[in-house]
Every structure is written in C-alpha cells, then in structure tokens.
A and B are shown apart, each in its own frame.
Chain A
Amino acid sequence: MADISISNSSTAAVGSLSVEALAGPQKRARKEALIRSVFLLASLVSILISVLIVVSLVRESWTFMTQVDWSVTWGQNGWRPRRGLYDMPTLLVASLIVTVIAMLVAGPLGLGAAIYLSEYASKKTRSFFKPILEVLAGVPSVVLGFFALFFISPQVIERIGRNGWLVIGAVIIIAYLAVIAGWTRNLVRREAGTELATQIKRVLTLTALVATALILIWWVNSVAGSGDPASADFFSVKRSGQLAAAAVGVGILTIPLVASVSEDALASVPQELRSASAGLGARKLTTTVQVVLPAAVSGIVAAFIIGISRALGETMVVFMAGGAADEATFTSSPFEGSLTMTAGMASLATGTDNVVGEGLTFQSLYFVGFVLFLLTLFLNIAAGRFVNRVRERY
C-alpha cells in the first residue's frame, strides 16, 4: 500500500473546476424546459377532452333527469322522442339483441381466426391473412350498413325467416353428419392402417363432396324459389332492414377486433408451455385446447368484452339497416325493425338541419349517450383488468 501516495498535498488543486463550468448555458436549460412543457401540454389535452365529454354528458342529462316525467321513460311501448315518449326499454332491448347476435358472429369467427393464426398458420399464411383482417378492420361502418341493408337483410335474414324449415333442416343434417363422423372416426381408429380404413376414408371424402354439392344445389334452388312473395314467413320478418341484419353487420365489423385482441392473448402464452405439453406427448389439439387456451383465457375474455363494447357503441350499421327511422316500437324479435341506443341518437340528430329539438328532445340525446358512455366505460375497464391479468402472469 505504500505505492499509494499523494505527491502534492495542497488542497487547492490546479486541475479543479468550478460548478459553473458544469452548469451548462442557461439558454439551453430554458429551451429544454420549454420543449418539455409543450409536450406536457399536448398530453394534457386528453384529460381536457375526457373532462369535456363527462361535463357535456352530465350537464344535459342532468337537465333531462330533473325535468322529465319519469313515467314516459318506461313501459311506453316505443321510443318516440319527438312526441315526448322516451321509452328506454325499447332502446335497451334492441341494443341487447344486436350485441348478442353480433357477438354470436364475431366471437367464434374472431376467436377461431385468432387460434388458427397464432397456433397453426405458417409464417407465409399469416403474412397473407393478417393484412386482410386489417383491411376488414378498416372498412367504414357505413359500408357495412349498406351491405347489411342490401345484402344481409334480403339474402340472408329474410331467407332464414322465410325458410325456417330450411334452417331447421340444415341444423338436423349437420347434427346427423356429426354423429356419422364420430362413429366413423371410432371405426377408423379401431381399424387403423387396414384396407378397410382406407376404403372408409375414400367413401367419406366422396360423401362429403356429394353432400357439399347437394347443399349448393339446394341453396341455389331456394334462391330461385324465393321470388314468390306469397310464401308465408316462417318467422315474421320485416322487409327492408331488421335488427338481425344490422346485428350481423355489426358482428362482421367486430370480427377483426376480437381476432386481434385474442391473438395478442394467445401470443403472450410462453412458448415453453407449448413445448412442455408437446414434450409430454400431447397432440397439437390437446396442447391448444387444454394448455394454451386456458392460459390465455383472461385475454380472450377481454377480447369478448371489448367486442361487446364495440358492438354496443356501433351506430351507423343499425341506423341504416336496423329497419327503423326516427322512432321505434318496442320489440323483442330480431326480425323486426327497431332502434338501439346509438341508432336512436343518430336518428334524433338527422332529418332536420337544426339539431336543437323542442322540449327535452335535445337533452334525451345526452341522457341516452350518458347511459351508453357508462356502459362502455364499465366494459372497457373490465376488459383492461383482464388484459392486465394475463400480462402479470407471464
């Protein structure tokens, strides 16, 4: 340690600096602070907007809630704002119908697409389908409204309504086919590798082809036969738009959202889990259904909740294809026309240049909006919780 020494013991070393030398120019510090505060200001805009939304909703709906005769908001058998009847059940039930049907479309399709993309698809397949889903996500809702009104409604919904027996028949046949398939599968498994199995496979393939052809012919036939206006509806279907058509349209709009959030959830499941499962001799199906899906379940729940929130808030498709304008009579049938909360708001605002209505009409708009806002806010917060749960786990 003797090699450690100080050869000059003077405390005021020649090489020392003053603090000012390291302080940097004032101008630079001021510039940096200014830039920082500009960015801060920009980020505060989001808080300002949130506050303004809440203030505008609360202000006008407060007026509505304090001045309205509450009896006109319940059990009036119809939403007729211009006549002072603000029956909330009409809008709420229609919203419920649309949301449920939309999720019946978007849920399985979105989740299925996500599972395929995340678990099965090769890189090439992925890079083909992902952009297409993104294009679907970007289709404006007015386009879906048009599509729902001019295609889904006449070509799908009215046909289902008119040919109820056809639908029921199709369900029976599919169930029948499933039973046959199950039985054949067992047979094939038992006779694995034998001539018989090969034969069965051949027969099965042929049957499937024939069945597909038959169904196609049947479908084309029913299209041609549907020209008869006298044919009685199996269900009572409203022509020119009904909730079901709009709901299917909303569902289509929601598919990419459900798909992308589910896919994120599946992607966040660690690869080791899959390897571990495969290492134990599990098949791909077992791994996917019993390991990956349970691990991603929170995220998939979140995807569904976000989908519900989106479907609930979708306006234009229902407004255009929901089969009701300006006012709606209460209905609980998806084959009738009605107004959801959102479509009710949109139709209140159209038809007149001056958006300010008489009496409480204007305020009712905000009351409905406030209810919608609270519902979607609740759903989004719930979805956020579920998403975080996945993130925390892995």
Chain B
Amino acid sequence: MAKRTPSVIAGLRGPRVNAEDIATDDSVDTDMADAVPATTGQDRGFVAEDIVFDASDLSVYYGDFRAVRDVNMLIQRKEITALIGPSGCGKSTVLRSFNRMNDLIPTARVEGDLLYRGVDLYDPRVDPVEVRRRIGMVFQKPNPFPKSIYDNVAYGPRVAGRKKGLDDVVESSLRKAALWDEVKDRLQESAIGMSGGQQQRLSIARAIASDPEVLLMDEPCSALDPIATARIEELMAELKDEYTILIVTHNMQQAARVSDRTAFFSVEVDETSDRRTGLLVEYTTTEKLFSNPDDERTENYITGRFG
C-alpha cells in the first residue's frame, strides 16, 4: 500500500510493538492489512511534513505516581484523532499534556518526547502560553466566562494583545462555530444565559478566535443532550478542513462517527499498591480499530465485554 520508514513507524503502533517487530514481522503486517476491507480507498498513511504531534514513550506523572505510560503516537494534520478508553486510563491526561495544560497541576511532569511540528514541547525554552495559543482547548463542561458573548470570544485575541479588528474575529469565529445566526443580535448579553449546547459551541468559538492550529477537545459532549451533541459532531466535521482536532470521548459511537484515527487506552492495576496506570493499547485508523482490532483488550472494550 505504501512505502514505510520503520524508524518513524515504531512510534505509531502502541507500546507493545517496537521497531524490530516491524522489521521482522513485515509479512504479518501485510497479511493483516489484507484483512481490512479497503472500502474507502483513502490513503490513511502519514505524510511526514503534515505530522503535527510526535509522541514517543510519553509518560505523565503526578508526583511519584505514573498516571499514564508508554504513549507513542503520531498525529496527522487536519484529521480528527479520537482518544477512547475506560475511565482512569489517562486519555484526558495525555490530551492535556499536548498543550501543556498539565503544567497547571504543580506535581505533574512528563517523561519521554513530545514533538509539536518538530519542536520538543517540553523544551525549557518553550513558553506554555505560546503553545496554548497555537493549540486551543475545549473542556468537558461548557465554561463560558461570566462576561458577554462578545467578550468571551474576544478573550483570546485580547490577551494576545490584539485591539483592532476584534469585531471581525468575533464574527468569523462565531460563524465557524455555527453560532453566529443564533447570537448575532445579543452579542452583548451574558454568556451564562445560553443553553448548554450553545455554551459549548461558544467555547469552541472562543478557542478558534485565538487562531490556533490544533483543537484539543476533552469530552466536549459529555454534558450535552443528543441533539446538541449531534450539532457539535457536525461542527467538528466542518472544522476538520481547517484544524487538526484531538478529541477525548467516552462515547465509542462518537469516536467511530467523527474520527479518522482512534487510540485506545486501557488501565493496568498494580496489585500491590492498587494504583492504576493508563497505557496506550492500540492506535490505528478508526475503521480498523472498530472492525478488526489487533489487540484482544481493544476487541473486548469495543464489544462491551470490559470497561
């Protein structure tokens, strides 16, 4: 199907597969690929210059406690990548390490490498504020600021020092978030009075207004009803043309519906200390993960036997 560069691929396939496996088990891989019905005909390969994130052997600690380990992932530009798994598997923790939101927890630290467009995100010279302006975030619960709708959307550009042309930014961000028509007449009203679904789209507009390249979404629909959820999913499909999106979700159907690739995380319980460490089990195209996963644990999870 394609040529490959083993040294990079080593990072693609979850923790259990290393470079040597790929080199020696080449034929096996090919066999398995044949098993996947090539219905889409789309090339799901990675394009080197379009790789936004490259995580290798990434672990996140809270103090001495390792919350999640051995994350190896490549994230492709302008794709939606879903992170799924049972609660406590560290998928949100991983997501938050992608724009250094974990820095806000004093004891949190990261081991391993996490490259954003070739730059080590945890390089001491990197300013997390700069990172977050390029990699925006939408949270689990809608969290509008207790300000007007306009001020909510204009917040990002304002803290970035922008003073002119805010009206245009607000309008285009609200349009992209499919909210403009609903709120254009009440921009100066408080955002607190909006419905949950509107608030979450406002959060998306607020994130877009900072002109990011990547949007991280941490279970953005978990507090919403099915109709509002559907709207957000539609919106994500539209936003994909412009942004790279990573989404953590509890909802497997949602991952299957919206994402191009899916990473399945699981939990490992240490019997002696009863501590739960998350780990990346399998990371591949959404299609394959849900139809023909390599790992038994993934299979069990998606068929509902576990988690």
Contact = CB atoms under 8 A, between A and B. Distances in A.
Interface of A: 1-11, 13-24, 28-29
16 contacts: A2-B29, A4-B4, A4-B284, A5-B2, A5-B4, A5-B9, A6-B3, A14-B49, A15-B118, A16-B119, A17-B118, A18-B119, A19-B126, A21-B119, A28-B127, A29-B127
B69 to A, nearest CB: 22
B8 interface: yes
B272 interface: no
A3 B5 contact: no
A103 to B, nearest CB: 42
Contacts of A13: 48-49, 51, 117-118
Nearest to A3: B44
Contacts of A24: 127, 129-130
Contacts of B32: 1-2
Closest 3 pairs between A and B when the two form their complex, measured CB to CB: A2-B33, A16-B118, A5-B2
A23 B51 contact: no
A52 B52 CA distance: 56
B105 interface: no
Contacts of B64: none
B77 interface: yes
A187 to B, nearest CB: 59
A52 to B, nearest CB: 31
Contacts of B134: 22
A23 B48 contact: no
Contacts of A3: 1, 33, 36, 44-45, 284-285, 288
Interface residues of B, number: 44
Interface string B242-259: 000000000000000000
Nearest to B6: A6
A8 B284 contact: no
A5 B118 CA distance: 18
Contacts of B4: 4-6
A15 B52 CA distance: 8
A1 B294 CA distance: 9
A6 B123 contact: no
Contacts of A5: 1-4, 9, 43, 45-46
A23 B116 contact: no
A22 B127 contact: yes
Interface string B123-136: 10111011100100
B2 A2 contact: yes
Contacts of A23: 125-127, 130
B201 interface: no
A206 to B, nearest CB: 58
B104 interface: no
Contact of B125 (A1, A6, A10, A19): A19
Contacts of A4: 4, 9, 12-13, 44-46, 284-285
B47 interface: yes
A19 B118 CA distance: 9
Interface string B222-251: 000000000000000000000000000000
Given A22-B126, A24-B129, A6 B45 contact: yes
Contacts of B129: 24, 28
Contacts of A7: 2-3, 43, 45-48
A16 B48 CA distance: 10
Contacts of A21: 119, 130
Contacts of B189: none
Contacts of B9: 4-6
A5 B51 CA distance: 12
A224 B52 CA distance: 93
A8 B4 CA distance: 9
A13 B126 CA distance: 20
Interface in B20-34: 29-30, 32-34
B49 A8 contact: yes
A15 B284 contact: no
Contacts of A1: 13, 29, 32-33, 284, 294
Contacts of A8: 47-49
A17 B3 contact: no
A205 to B, nearest CB: 54
B269 to A, nearest CB: 27
A152 B33 CA distance: 94
A130 B34 CA distance: 75
B167 interface: no
Contacts of B30: 2
Nearest to B50: A15
A214 to B, nearest CB: 61
Contacts of B46: 4-7
B45 A19 contact: no
Given A2-B34, A5-B4, A28-B127, 11 more contacts: A1-B13, A1-B284, A2-B2, A3-B1, A3-B33, A4-B46, A7-B48, A15-B117, A23-B126, A24-B127, A28-B129
